[in-house]
């Protein structure tokens, strides 16, 4: 049975990944900061295990790794993230939030990968997926603003590029995915894409992704995003 681990699984895109994978018979490990406050996860039918994880806390990541021990993970889906500087412009920077953005969006997934790369190596699929953003594209930035979010996603992209090189000898592939502008708490009510459509599209990209493509920066529909 294929095993998928999803971070930030209690709402939005992460929750929809859990729903869709569980409905299709996958074994799903759903992680979030507070499982006791995740009623939507409890209602998902299928082989779903809910475990606590705060990607910004070393001890929390270490505890997850200990709980999973040598459990193979076919697809490690780094979804947890934060957009903390929406609408903040030059002269208004909150450097504590900028630092927090990096801790969650860059260091968070790297903590998880370091802790669980052995689990991924034991699997058949051996795939690391990172939800990034088109806003992390330097070439595509024509709007300015969102300094903390944009720079944290650009940094994640750079880190995953290095990771893909270091892990290729172990036949572990890395995929960076832009989910589109999705109608979630982060995306807002004016977003143009339904969560289920974004996740369905990303799942198709994940399903067809091969080691030879590592590392790619792709949209939910498979189109390439410029770095």
Q: How far is CA 76 from CA 5, 133, 162, in A?
A: 5, 18, 17
Sheet of 3-6: strand order equals 48-52, 27-32, 3-6, 75-78, 127-131, 173-178, 216-219
Q: Exactly one of 21, 26, 83, 149 is catalytic; name it.
A: 149
Residue whose token pair is 């030879």? 212
83 is catalytic: no
* Catalytic center residues: 149
């Amino acid at each position: 049975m294929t095993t998928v681990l999803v971070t930030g699984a209690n709402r939005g895109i992460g929750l929809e990944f859990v729903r869709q994978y569980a409905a299709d018979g996958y074994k799903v490990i759903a992680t979030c900061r507070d499982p006791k406050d995740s009623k939507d996860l409890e209602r998902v039918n299928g082989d779903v295990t809910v475990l606590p994880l705060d990607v910004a806390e070393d001890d929390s990541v270490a505890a997850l790794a200990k709980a999973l021990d040598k459990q193979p993970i076919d697809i490690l889906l780094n979804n947890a993230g934060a957009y903390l500087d929406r609408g903040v412009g030059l002269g208004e920077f909150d450097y504590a939030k900028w630092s927090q953005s990096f801790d969650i969006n860059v260091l968070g997934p790297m903590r998880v990968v370091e802790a669980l790369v052995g689990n991924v190596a034991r699997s058949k699929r051996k795939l690391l997926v990172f939800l990034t953003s088109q806003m992390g594209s330097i070439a595509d930035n024509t709007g300015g603003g969102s300094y903390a979010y944009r720079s944290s996603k650009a940094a994640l992209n750079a880190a995953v590029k290095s990771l893909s090189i270091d892990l290729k000898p172990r036949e572990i592939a890395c995929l960076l995915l832009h989910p589109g502008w999705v109608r979630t708490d982060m995306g807002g009510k004016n977003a143009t894409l339904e969560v289920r459509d974004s996740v369905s599209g990303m799942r198709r990209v994940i399903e067809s992704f091969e080691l030879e493509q590592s590392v790619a920066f792709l949209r939910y529909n498979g189109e390439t995003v410029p770095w």
